[in-house]
Structure 1
Amino acid sequence: MRGRQYSCCFTGHRPGKLPWGYAEEDPRCQLLKQRIADAVESAYQEGYQHFLCGMAMGCDLYFCEAVLELRSRCPDVTVEAAIPCPTQADAWPAVQRERYCRLVESCDYETLVSQRYSASCMQRRDRYMVDHAALLIAAFDGSPGGTRYTVEYAMRCGLEIVDLSIPGA
């Protein structure tokens, strides 16, 4: 894995907080995916080569897919799946669970942050990513929750933050 100064992490909302929900064909979702891909490309151009992803449903998976696409063109890129607990995707819809498994398997590294689910394992995963990165890309609408927690923690830690607006939010 690369040093913190070459590492970028991501936070963003799950489908329940996105105006389009699970409808990824929605033009607003397509626009956000393009913004994420552009931010990943810009981070790479600035020297970031290692990308950490929390692998949550929604924006995290969009981010992982964008980084894997970049890696297909730039073999010096590495992707780390920061997994909060072994059961993260167990209750997800089958299609999302299959997507998650396929993406985790495609990552270069897999870090299991907690050995079992707990009320704090998601925040622990978020802190792990921020603690191992110098840049945070955030798809954030300002609402309370895990994304806000991660953005605020990154601010306290002095990370540079790229704030992507969520279309239609």
Structure 2
Amino acid sequence: MTFPKDKAVTAHFTGHRPQHIGRLHLEVRECVEWLVEYATERGIKVFVSGMACGVDLTAAKYVMDLIDGGADLYLVGAVPFPTHWQKWPRSTQDEYAALVKRMKRSDRCKVCLVSDGGYSIEKLTRRNEWMADRASMCLGVYLGTHGRQGGTYRQLQYSSSRGLHTIYCDPANLRMYQVLPHQEVG
């Protein structure tokens, strides 16, 4: 099977880590479902996850479930560096390992290592830019109350400034927002 490499059919996810989501886990899942539906209605076939704990893993698992159910979709896991998962809680490490194992068994998935070596904030930024540079759409789960800071905010801004169709869902109010180029998020 040929893995599509066309930016026009590719979207990437961005979103908060668990500590910023609080008790909104069900709402985050609902946002992910809406965003995937929105994207597929617009011709997106390939979804890229940054494979971080929180929204990234939720989104990757959801797309993987759709693929396992027969959907004509593809999933790319953009791993920022080999050991990025090692400081997570054990249950999240297990969740990550199970997802990677599922992805490696599917010809509709691939896991890409973006940088070698250990942790650095620059490698997380490089991963985020790598995802945006290969996509035409950015799908975010972003709490507007989180303020104009953090990786999710920066990724929404970066994607929009690069001309990607940028949309996010706020799990606190379950509303979708589009970010226009050169428009401030939130």
State the shift of 1:19 in Å.
2.7
State the shift of 1:75 in Å.
4.1
Q: Does 1:43 align with 2:22?
A: no
RCO greater where, 1 or 2, for CA within 8 Å and sep 6 or more? 1
In structure 2, what is the Cα distance between the partners aligned to 1:90 and 1:134? 31
**Paired residue for 2:50?**
54
Superposed CA deviations along residues 77-124 of structure 1, whole A, max 9, x for unmatched, are: 110100000011011111100101111222211111110122300011
% identical equivalent positions? 28
TM-score normalized by structure 2?
0.81
Q: Does 1:164 align with 2:169?
A: yes
Match of 1:6 among 5, 9, 31: 9
State the shift of 1:41 in Å.
2.2
In structure 2, what is the Cα distance between the partners aligned to 1:56 and 1:166? 18
**Paired residue for 1:118?**
120
1:74 to 1:134, Cα distance in 2 relative to 1, 3 A: farther
Superposed CA deviations along residues 105-151 of structure 1, whole A, max 9, x for unmatched, are: 22211111110122300011000111001111101124311111111
Match of 1:138 among 137, 140, 148: 140
TM-score normalized by structure 1?
0.89
4+ residue runs of structure 1 moved beyond 3 angstroms? none
**Paired residue for 2:182?**
none
User: Any idea what SS the aligned residue of 2:166 has?
Assistant: strand
Q: Does 1:18 align with 2:51?
A: no
1:44 to 1:74, Cα distance in 2 relative to 1, 3 A: farther
State the shift of 1:38 in Å.
2.1
Task: Count the aligned residue pairs.
Answer: 162
Quick one: which amino acid aligns to residue 148 of structure 1? Y
Match of 1:30 among 12, 26, 30: 26
**Paired residue for 2:157?**
152
Quick one: which amino acid aligns to residue 6 of structure 1? V
State the shift of 1:72 in Å.
2.3
The two structures, once aligned, show a CA RMSD in angstroms of: 1.6
Structure 1 gap ranges (5+): 21-27
User: Any idea what SS the aligned residue of 1:120 has?
Assistant: helix
Structure 2 gap ranges (5+): 104-108, 175-186
User: Any idea what SS the aligned residue of 1:92 has?
Assistant: coil
